[in-house]
Chain A
Amino acid sequence: MQNFLATMLQDLPSQNPQPVYADNTSIWHHMSQALHQSLDRVLSLLIAILPGILAFFVALGIFTLIGMVISALLRRGLSWARFDDYLARTRGTTDWTPTSSPSALIARGSFWACVVLGLIIGVSAFDASYATAATLPISLLPYLTHAVGAIFLLIAGNLIARFLARSVLIGAVNAQLQYARFLSMGVKWLVLVLTAAMVLDHLEVGGVVVELAFGILFGGIVLTLALAIGLGSRDLVSRSLESHVERSNEHGIPPHSAAPANVSEAIRHF
């Protein structure tokens, strides 16, 4: 024990305390070096993708201009050739809105085709320039290319949701369902939830959480609607079945479906 203590006491003075830093400037030196390297990396990446970004805007701009020129030429050419009159004569259809005569539609279509072409070429150029700089990852950039598709998905989903909601609302009102608005809202949110899930999946945001949340929400809405329709339409279904049985017994013909037609036997709409 004494030997051990003696050894310990002997060793202590002989240990030179190691300095934490070699000198006062070294920490700043390392920090500035790290910052410089990071800045270099970001600038290098920006320099690498800048041509791509510029190419994107240039392609979009040039093709938009080309689209405008082609559209104007087509509009004038078709107007000179009296294309609308020809179509009305031969096809007999004037199923166009006043601002969308056939020639206007063609001109507008060609313009937007050019814009979309420019968009595709621009995105492709941007994608190529990013691939060359992929050794320097920045987590936000991959979403730029996916964002275009996500925006299209979002727009299409909104349009479809609105269309379906209106269809269901008008159909349900004409079938005299008291919960028409609720049904319409349900369908609308079904489509919107589906759209949101698709958009997030396309952007690769959320991963499993989105799938899980989507499954729960979608299932919940479907269950709610099923319960609502099942409970709320009992009378309608029973009336329809009774009418079917009665008519089948009397005339052997299938029943009609709309409630308003049943309002009175004395009323004949046609």
Chain B
Amino acid sequence: MATANSISEQPTAPVLADPGLLVLLAPMPSEELERVLANLTSFFPAEGLMVATADALSADSWPGLRVIPTSATNASWTLTAADFLSAYQLAGEHEARAILMLGPRSSSLQSTALRDLANAVLASSADLAISCYDLPPNAGLINSAILYPLTRSLFASRVRFPLAIDLGLSLRMAERLAAVAQKSMGLNQSDALLWPVNEAAVAAFVTSEVEVGPRATPQPAENDINAILASVTGSLFADIDVKAAFWQRVRYLPPPRYPFPHAPSADAATDISPMLDAFRLAYTNLQEIWSLVLPPNTLLGLKRLSVTEGAEFRMPDSLWARIVFDFLIAYRLRTINRGHLLGALIPLYLAWVASHINITASGTNPERHIEAVAAAFEADKPYLVSRWRWPDRFNP
């Protein structure tokens, strides 16, 4: 069973003399590359490192370091199927023992974070070491609203960032991910997102979560919430659909991480009115589409929300969980076109964001609220399972 323990809280494993570690780096400016290499070589001997990068790197500056030139990856803001496939192939060619994949702007990671990620797969029994970032309160909101609660409730994993872009992989984990990536590549979807936590859970591999501290998170080139939400959520929904046989069984979560990491409350001055306007506009226009997906109870809840004033705007966690589950079922059943479906989810997501900001502005720890949301997803999982199995018979 996968576990999600912080390596940082455990005694640091001794650094291996010849780690045989393949480090796959996303394209980055030369000064950032130098910083990452400096961080890596501060803990690992250069002779034991293989650095695969598409950027030009002079061997003279880093004596002993094995530089493997690769083609530029597609990782503009996250890791894709092509990256995972490339990582496994390079690891096989150069007989690496483990892989460290670092996404764009990884120079903002501390050297200890790189060490812990690598050690988690080199020195301990973990197959997947995944980063847990310390982000500002209003960052990574798609992750907090959808990715984390869904992953936690369905795959029984407390990994806080299922789509983390800095990973440590054992060879067998890399092989499994490469097999999934190969299928995506076969469908000409080299930019497809993979879900390592879900794969590890299905394969019963050990997952280890590593606190890596703050990180500069790369943003998609096209900073369009419509496109991001549709691609990320659609990819997760599709992965959940594939793994339905796994998550429908009862799973038990590992113990929670207490206390909550300290996170400053969101700035009370954050303007949520544009998001509320977007939600209200959608409520007046998209009811016909929502009514195809959502049951009457949920629509009633949305109606109440639509007339709530900005300061009192709170979306109940159970309502949000039910909305996401109903959209997931509609995605599976193709109740409406999937592009339309994910487009219709955006105003609801914005309503959740507005509610989250209001809650955190009132003094609640953002992490506590996100944990409460995830707990609501867990509590409502039987509803999802029932509707998944009998979509026509069980429709409240």
Contacts and interface: CB of A to CB of B under 8 A. Distances in A.
B289 A261 contact: no
A259 B274 CA distance: 9
Interface residues of B, number: 59
Interface hub of A95, A171, A172, A174 (most chain B Cβ within 10 A): A174
A94 interface: yes
B359 to A, nearest CB: 14
Contact of B285 (A97, A169, A262): A169
B281 A169 contact: no
A170 B289 CA distance: 9
B220 A270 contact: yes
A163 B336 CA distance: 10
Interface in A68-104: 91-95, 97-98
Nearest to B341: A170
A264 B271 contact: yes
Contacts, number: 128
Interface string A236-270: 00000000000000000100111111111011111
Interface stretch (A58-66, A176-184, A194-202, A211-219): A176-184
A173 interface: yes
A170 B140 contact: no
Interface in B187-221: 187, 217, 219-221
A33 interface: no
B366 interface: no
Interface residues of A, number: 36
Interface in B124-141: 136, 138-141
B250 interface: no
Nearest to B182: A92
Given A92-B180, A97-B333, A173-B285, A268 B344 contact: no
A270 B225 CA distance: 9
Interface stretch (B91-99, B295-303, B315-323, B345-353): B345-353
B145 to A, nearest CB: 9
B393 interface: no
A268 B340 contact: no
Contact of B141 (A180, A253, A267): A267
Interface in A205-230: none
B367 interface: no
Contact of B186 (A91, A98, A269): A91
A97 B217 CA distance: 36
B238 interface: yes
B43 interface: no
Contacts of A95: 238, 241
A173 B282 contact: yes
A178 B281 contact: yes
B225 A91 contact: no
A171 B224 contact: no
Contact of B138 (A169, A253, A268): A268
B348 to A, nearest CB: 11
Nearest to B147: A270
Interface stretch (B12-20, B103-111, B167-175, B226-234): B226-234
B139 A268 contact: yes
A181 B238 CA distance: 30
B271 A263 contact: yes
A148 to B, nearest CB: 27
B187 A93 contact: yes
Nearest to A253: B221
Given A166-B336, A260-B346, A270 B228 contact: yes
Given A170-B289, A266-B138, A269-B142, A92 B184 contact: yes
B55 interface: no
A256 B224 contact: yes
B254 interface: no
Contact of B391 (A98, A176, A267): A98
B217 A166 contact: no
Interface in B142-158: 142-143
Interface string B336-379: 11011001101100100100010000000000000000000000
B226 A258 contact: yes
6 contacts: A170-B289, A172-B285, A173-B285, A253-B221, A261-B223, A264-B272
Interface of A: 91-95, 97-98, 163, 166-167, 169-174, 176, 178, 180-181, 184, 253, 256-264, 266-270
